[in-house]
Amino acid sequence: MIQCKNITIGFGEETILENLSLTIPEGEITIIVGRSGCGKSVLMKTIEGLYMPREGSVYIDGADLTRLNRRKLLETRSNMAMLFQGSALLDSFNVYQNVALPLREHTTLSDAEIRAQVKEKLQLVGLDDVLEKLPSQLSGGMQKRVALARAIIRQPKYLIYDEPTTGLDPVMSDEIVDLILKLQQSNRLTSIIITHDFACIQRIQGRIVMLSDKQIIFDGPYQNFISATDPRIRKFNRH
């Protein structure tokens, strides 16, 4: 479980999020929405331990991130994976090398073991026939799937998706959402999805958390979100 307790995050004079509390229970999908610049990525980076809150605490499975030493922090972070907005694949590495990278960097597994795991994950995302291709030779949707295989290669407990469907056509976007749901069911992942994409929100119908004005202004199920009367939510809903 992830718990943010009364966190305030800022840079210099600027406060981005103020006295915010949020609990993310295990095994569920939480969707984070809000206008560009409202602090969604900042919140996620704080949960990952990349930014330290000015005030308050972030607990990951009971451990306070703000009080962990470096070794413990790295250990806690190894339970978390992130699917970056731009996929962030290494251009000069082929698909196999990209997906294998976290295992090469963080484990002492043999080549044969790594190969087996990479193949298994690529199969899971429906891409086990493009091992030798470079990212530039793949479509945007395929790149996302490779990035997803890489994100889950170390079997994380928490997976954060930053705009997983943005920039994809509706068919590819649907495929990615299907995959997110499939991973959710088969691996019992705790998923956090940052998105602007209403089609994605509509299909997942998870719990929605909306940020605005440095706070959480909505936290609840999809059905309540679409019928909310707060003008800031209605403005968002119209899209």
Interface residues with ligand ATP (CB under 6 A) are: 11, 16, 34, 36-42
Find which of ligand ATP, Mg ion, none residue 108 binds, CB within 5 to 8 Å per kind. none
Using the minimum distance from each CB to Mg ion, give the nearer residue, 117 or 195.
Answer: 195
Q: Are strands 158-162 and 80-83 parallel, antiparallel or unpaired?
A: parallel
Using the minimum distance from each CB to Mg ion, give the nearer residue, 41 or 46.
Answer: 41
Q: Which of residues 169-208 bind Mg ion (CB under 5 A)?
A: none
User: What is residue 93's three-state secondary structure?
Assistant: coil
Close Cβ partners of 16 (under 8 Å, ≥ 6 residues apart):
9, 10, 39, 42, 214
Query: Using the rule CB under 5 A, is 41 a contact of Mg ion?
Result: yes
Q: At closest approach, how far in Å is the CB of 68 from Mg ion?
A: 25
Find which of Mg ion, ligand ATP, none residue 16 binds, CB within 5 to 8 Å per kind. ligand ATP
- For residue 226, which of 236, 237, 217 has the smallest C-alpha distance? 237
C-alpha span between 168 and 75 (Å, rounded): 34
Q: Are strands 29-33 and 190-194 parallel, antiparallel or unpaired?
A: parallel
Using the minimum distance from each CB to ligand ATP, give the nearer residue, 83 or 138.
Answer: 83
Find which of Mg ion, ligand ATP, none residue 150 binds, CB within 5 to 8 Å per kind. none
